[in-house]
């Protein structure tokens, strides 16, 4: 930082422009924001350099945007360095356009052609345009002070390089007014579990919870399943069953016939199998006598208690009501040992309750917003900071900063309507993923068609969304268990693109036609066939509908782990997809580089590709997952059977030492996984050894297959080569 232009570091980053500074001695131009030089570029031959001063760079005031530019008379290549907060991600400054993959990132990748950086600690988005450029390293680096550092080689000339700075980007530009990452952030952990709702609906009891806990412990716990969540059906109805009680007291009473040992029995059964207990509640008040004894807690209209369309009596959300009925409920759930709480119907408290009160003239818009925020704050006060908090349902601006996850779509089920919704809404709302909260596409029912289950679980796993299963044990055939195991655990991926919501695509145009609004509380939904016409009716018409990859069908997951950098292509047929040539630069890959391509679900090596990749036809609901790794001139790791990421889960480290390839693996003892390696001219495998596992190697065309039988959770594989002289 330049002492002569010293500015203090503010706890809340300022909505103010970055200030320029030109150092004549070093020929360095820098821009300072919030007490730090965030952009610097040295221009050696600088006699005719031009740049915009900070003082005239403001283009907007409230949605603050500053544009700076740099020009030189003599073209030259220079290095420009960005130095930002620890939590910085390479971000495309707009959502995927036609022909572009939706971008996700796991790690600290710098993606080819992605011209933005998002400082998530300061809510600052920077993008650069107008000149040829290239990242100087494959990932964001960290300096000795913990700052994120990324550098580009950029060609300056008489045409301006222009850089946009958008301060308080999610908070002001995208309208998430409660987003203050300098005060709080959602948990970034991966979440995977089982939910009772679409397995049993309200026909749940203690025996079924004990059975599913044992089943999941035997089959999926070792693969990353962590939570068992009891949904609607455990509580004694109506709520509260005694109208003289508080709502907190009412929720503590379980249905004695179904759960004779109450909440203590639920928690004990789940914990005994090594899982974290999770519970569902909602914001509804259903006892018709409640207003008689607790009338000071609810909303009224014209002297009568209000009811909402999708909710019964409505909390008035005053401090007294929240302190009496809401905070104590969630404090008690935490004290009972629940580590995850899902709160349902809060959407209806807002949309069908408080917003309806605005429409009726009972309160104003600002008061309704503040009351809803107060309800959410009261729930978090009860839960504390350690309990995982899922808000259901809706992408709720008021929930930002208080909840860990938001359900982004309505109730899912095993029909194509339900599965497509999960695939499509994951794409629609991806700009919020692990920035504002974790996105929850709702539970997955694997009793659907195998290919459909494979698609939705692959996308949830790779995109890092909340991963919840919801079927009875009988639905988990060995085929379905294998799909689940290969997609557990979900990654900690986050969005690598941002921008306002695109409204050119229909949301939920099909739901009531397909019976979503009138399903029984007691009967789980069963799979159903779908016609081609129904598929296209659900998709609707929009400008890019006839492209090779319409919106929601094409993804690129960029992964970085240690020195390993790779991309996983995901194609998801929300409509049937034709075979085509897919340009690599549409995925954020360098078009002139050469990549090894491996199809995960086909377990097929597709060879080396450059420029574009030939991809196959996909029927509706099918997916294609392909790993793309830049080809090296020696043997290298390519893919595995363990995880759809190929392999951010079981491959902990890969290193070339002398003439040996060293691979640190993690796995489930008693299982066998296959790891694939490229063969290279000039190298011949001499032998392989492995500690913690047994290994058997064989050639398979242009690949080496290493079958690793895990004896322990960690194994060290060593492939020893002889290099030709």
Q: What are phi and psi of 386, to 5 degrees?
A: -90, -25
In this predicted structure, the answer to whether residue 3 has a pLDDT above a threshold of 60 is no
397 belongs to a structural domain:
no
User: How far apart are the C-alpha atoms of 529 and 14, rounded to whole Å?
Assistant: 55
Q: What is the pLDDT of residues 533-548, one digit of tens each?
A: 888 888 888 888 889 9
* Averaged pLDDT of the chain: 93
- 149 lies in some domain: yes
The pLDDT-based confidence of 505 (bands split at 50, 70, 90) is confident
Q: What is the CATH number of the domain that holds 674?
A: 2.60.40
Q: Tell me which of 502 and 611 has the higher pLDDT.
A: 611
Assign 316 a pLDDT band (cuts: 50, 70, 90).
very high
Q: What are 656's two structure tokens?
A: 């070339």
Q: Where is the domain boundary, 595, 629, 663? A: 629
* 129 domain-assigned: yes
- Asked if residue 643 and residue 568 are part of one domain, the reply reads no
In the sheet that holds 554-561, the strands lie side by side as 494-495, 102-106, 554-561, 564-572, 623-630, 595-599, 604-609
- Span 384-435, pLDDT tens digits: 999 999 999 889 999 999 999 999 988 888 999 899 999 999 999 999 999 9
Same domain, 54 and 10: yes
Asked whether residue 506 is assigned to any structural domain, the reply reads: no
Q: How many CB atoms lie within 10 A of CB 337?
A: 16
Sequential DSSP letters for 97-134: -TT-PEEEEESSB--TT--EEEETTTTEEEEEESS-EE
Contact 111, 184 (CB under 8 A): no
Whether the pLDDT of residue 292 is over 60: the answer is yes
**Which segment of 184-198, 508-522, 529-543, 668-682 scores lowest on mean pLDDT?**
508-522
What is residue 217's three-state secondary structure? helix
- Tell me whether residue 456 is in a domain: no
Residue 226 has pLDDT above 60, yes or no: yes
Give residue 514's pLDDT band: very low, low, confident or very high (50, 70, 90): low
Q: Helices 416-428 and 450-463: crossing angle, nearest 10°?
A: 20
| Band (503; pLDDT cuts 50, 70, 90) | confident
Separation between Cα atoms, residue 22 and residue 53, nearest integer Å: 10
d(CA 623, CA 419): 13
Residue 646 shares a structural domain with residue 701: yes
| 19 shares its domain with 165 | yes
d(CA 623, CA 557): 14
The answer to whether 372 and 259 have CB atoms below 8 angstroms apart is no
pLDDT over 60 at 57, yes or no = no
Residues 60 and 37 in one domain: yes
One domain for residues 663 and 718? yes
Q: Is 463 helix (H, G, I), strand (E, B) or coil?
A: helix
Name residues whose C-beta falls within 8 Å of residue 526's C-beta, 6 or more positions apart in sequence: 414, 447
Q: What is the CATH number of the domain that holds 601?
A: 2.60.40.1180
The sign of the dihedral angle between the CA atoms of 558, 114, 116, 24 is positive
Q: What is the pLDDT of residues 441-450, one digit of tens each?
A: 999 999 999 9
For the cut 50, the answer to whether the pLDDT of residue 1 exceeds it is: no
> Which stretches of 464-612 are DSSP H helices?
478-485, 532-539
- Whether the pLDDT of residue 575 is over 90: the answer is yes
Mean of pLDDT values over 171-198: 95
Least confident of 238-252, 517-531, 567-581, 640-654: 517-531
Instruction: Look at residue 687 and tell me whether its pLDDT is greater than 50.
Output: yes
Residue 59: the pLDDT is: 72
- Per the structure, the complete domain to which residue 582 belongs is given by 541-629
Among left, alpha and beta (phi > 0; psi -120 to 50; other), residue 107 is left
| Closest C-alpha among 372, 249, 204, 230 to residue 299 | 372
And the tokens for 684?
A: 């011949």
Q: Cα(447)–Cα(476) distance, rounded to whole angstroms?
A: 8
Q: How many residues make up the chain in this entry?
A: 725
Angle, CA of 542, 567 and 122, to the nearest 5°: 80
Mark whether 702 and 622 lie in a shared domain: no
Quick one: 713 and 612 in the same domain?
no
In a domain? residue 108: no
- What CA dihedral angle connects 314, 320, 325 and 328, to 10 degrees? 150
pLDDT computed for residue 2 by the predictor: 46
Same-domain status, 625 and 637: no
84 within a domain of the structure (yes/no):
yes
What pLDDT, on the 0 to 100 scale, is given for residue 571? 98
Q: How much is the average pLDDT of 114-131?
A: 97
Please tell me whether residue 454 adopts helix, strand or coil conformation: helix
Query: With bands split at pLDDT 50, 70 and 90, how would you rate the model's confidence at 347?
Result: very high
Digit-coded pLDDT (tens) for 321-335: 999 999 999 999 999
- Which residue, of 629, 663, 693, is where some domain finishes? 629
Closest CA to 445 of 483, 402, 391, 497: 483
| Shared-domain flag, residues 647 and 584 | no
Peptide bond just before 214 cis, omega within 30 deg: no
Mean pLDDT of 69-81: 94
Last residue of a domain, one of 170, 188, 213: 170
Share of the chain above pLDDT 90, in %: 85
Q: So what's the pLDDT on residue 545?
A: 87
Q: CA–CA separation, 23 vs 28, rounded Å?
A: 5
Same domain, 646 and 666: yes
Going by pLDDT thresholds of 50, 70 and 90, the confidence category of residue 513 is low
**Would you say residue 375 has pLDDT above 70?**
yes
pLDDT of residue 54: 67
**Is residue 425 domain-resident?**
no
Q: So what's the pLDDT on residue 518?
A: 46
Give the residue carrying structure tokens 């998709």: 539
Mean pLDDT to the nearest integer, 558-570: 96
How much is the pLDDT for 117? 98
Write the CB contacts of 62 (distance below 8 Å, at least 6 apart in sequence).
Answer: 172
**Is residue 55 pLDDT above 70, yes or no?**
no
Q: What is the DSSP letter of 60?
A: -
Is the domain of 55 the same as that of 158? yes
Helix or strand (DSSP H, E) at 359 = helix 355-359
For helices 532-539 and 416-428, angle between their N-to-C axes, nearest 10 degrees: 30
> What average pLDDT score do residues 202-227 get?
98
Q: Please, which pLDDT band fits residue 521 given cuts at 50, 70 and 90?
A: low
DSSP label of 497: B
Residue with the bigger pLDDT between 505 and 585: it is: 585
Count structural domains, the chain: 3
């Amino acid at each position: 930082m330049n002492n002569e232009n010293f500015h203090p570091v503010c706890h809340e980053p300022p909505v103010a422009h970055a200030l320029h500074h030109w150092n004549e001695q070093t020929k360095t131009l820098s821009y300072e924001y919030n007490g730090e030089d965030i952009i610097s570029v040295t221009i050696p031959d600088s006699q005719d350099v031009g740049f915009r001063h900070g003082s005239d760079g403001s283009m907007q005031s409230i949605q603050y945007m500053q544009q700076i530019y740099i020009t030189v008379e003599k073209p030259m290549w220079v290095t420009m360095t960005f130095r930002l907060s620890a939590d910085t991600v390479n971000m495309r400054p707009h959502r995927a356009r036609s022909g572009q993959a939706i971008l996700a990132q796991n790690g600290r990748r710098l993606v080819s052609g992605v011209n933005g950086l998002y400082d998530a600690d300061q809510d600052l988005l920077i993008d650069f345009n107008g000149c040829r450029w290239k990242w100087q390293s494959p990932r964001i680096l960290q300096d000795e002070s913990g700052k994120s550092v990324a550098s580009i080689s950029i060609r300056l000339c008489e045409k301006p390089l222009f850089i946009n700075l958008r301060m308080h980007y999610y908070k002001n530009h995208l309208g998430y007014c409660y987003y203050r990452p300098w005060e709080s952030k959602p948990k970034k952990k991966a979440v995977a579990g089982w939910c009772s709702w679409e397995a049993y609906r309200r026909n749940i009891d203690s025996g079924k919870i004990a059975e599913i806990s044992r089943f999941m412990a035997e089959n999926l716990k070792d693969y990353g399943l962590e939570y068992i969540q009891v949904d609607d059906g455990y509580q004694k109805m109506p709520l509260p069953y005694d109208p003289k009680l508080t709502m907190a007291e009412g929720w503590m009473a379980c249905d004695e016939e179904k759960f004779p040992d109450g909440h203590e029995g639920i928690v004990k059964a789940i914990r005994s199998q090594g899982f974290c207990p999770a519970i569902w509640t909602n914001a509804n008040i259903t006892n018709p006598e409640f207003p008689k004894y607790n009338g000071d807690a609810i909303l009224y209209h014209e002297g009568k208690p209000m009811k909402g369309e999708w909710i019964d009596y409505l909390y008035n959300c005053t401090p007294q009501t929240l302190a009496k009925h809401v905070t104590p409920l969630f404090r008690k759930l935490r004290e009972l040992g629940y580590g995850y709480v899902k709160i349902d119907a809060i959407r209806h408290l807002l949309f069908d309750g408080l917003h309806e009160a605005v429409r009726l003239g009972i309160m104003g818009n600002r008061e309704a917003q503040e009351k809803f925020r107060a309800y959410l704050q009261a729930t978090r006060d009860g839960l504390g900071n350690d309990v995982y908090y899922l808000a259901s349902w809706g992408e709720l601006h008021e929930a930002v900063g208080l909840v860990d996850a938001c359900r982004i779509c309505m109730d899912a089920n095993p029909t194509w309507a339900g599965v497509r919704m999960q695939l499509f809404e994951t794409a629609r709302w991806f700009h919020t993923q692990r920035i504002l909260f974790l996105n929850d596409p709702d539970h997955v029912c694997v009793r659907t068609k195998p290919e459909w289950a494979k698609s939705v679980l692959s996308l949830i796993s790779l995109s890092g969304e909340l991963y919840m299963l919801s079927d009875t044990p009988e639905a988990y055939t060995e085929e379905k268990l294998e799909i689940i195991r290969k997609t557990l655990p979900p990654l900690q991926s986050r969005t690598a693109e941002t921008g306002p919501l695109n409204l050119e695509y229909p949301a939920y145009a099909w739901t009531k036609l397909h019976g979503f609004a009138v399903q029984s509380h007691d009967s789980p939904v069963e799979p159903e066939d779908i016609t081609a016409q129904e598929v296209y009716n659900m998709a609707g018409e929009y400008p890019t509908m006839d492209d090779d990859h319409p919106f929601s069908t094409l993804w690129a997951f960029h992964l970085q782990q240690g020195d390993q950098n790779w991309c996983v292509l995901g194609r998801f047929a929300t409509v049937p997809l034709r075979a085509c040539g897919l340009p690599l630069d549409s995925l954020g890959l360098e078009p002139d580089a050469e990549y090894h391509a491996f199809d995960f679900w086909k377990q097929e090596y597709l060879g080396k590709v450059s420029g574009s990749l030939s991809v196959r036809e996909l029927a509706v609901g099918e997916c294609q997952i392909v790993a793309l790794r830049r080809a090296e001139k020696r043997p290298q790791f390519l893919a595995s059977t363990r995880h759809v990421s190929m392999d951010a889960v079981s491959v902990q480290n890969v290193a070339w030492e002398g003439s040996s390839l060293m691979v640190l693996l993690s796995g489930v003892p008693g299982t066998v996984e296959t790891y694939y390696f490229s063969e290279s001219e000039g190298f011949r495998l001499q032998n392989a050894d492995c500690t913690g596992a047994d290994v058997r190697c064989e050639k398979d065309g242009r690949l080496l297959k290493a079958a690793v039988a895990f004896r322990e959770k960690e194994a060290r594989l060593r492939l020893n080569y002889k290099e030709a002289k």
